[in-house]
Amino acid sequence: MNSLTDLVRFLLGFFLLFMLLMMIIGVALTIFWIWMIIDCAKRNFKKENEKIVWILVIVLLNVLGATIYYFAVKFQDKNKAKKKK
């Protein structure tokens, strides 16, 4: 009976730790998503349509859209800035 109680405690502790980790990851991804929306809204694109399309991509695809935007636009700008120096 004692080993069953220990197993239940272990599984409950593991579950709570897992849920805490998932909540932290969820909050971090939400912050990243909001950060990409703000960056896109402030960025000067060559065409105004680009801004609208990127905002729609970020909003409709959530974290996936924010990740695509980060690597397609923001990361690319960082590389261009390094090459100019």
Q: What is the mean pLDDT of residues 75-82?
A: 72
Q: Would the pLDDT of 78 be above 90?
A: no
Q: 79 or 21, which is more confident?
A: 21
Q: Would the pLDDT of 12 be above 90?
A: yes
What pTM was estimated for this model as a whole?
0.80
> Which is it for the CA torsion 45, 51, 57, 59, positive or negative?
positive
Q: Would the pLDDT of 62 be above 90?
A: yes
Q: Are 50 and 43 in contact (CB under 8 A)?
A: no
Q: What are phi and psi of 54, to 5 degrees?
A: -65, -40
Instruction: For residue 40, count CB atoms less than 10 angstroms from its CB and return exposed for 0-12, middle for 13-18, buried for 19 or more.
Output: buried
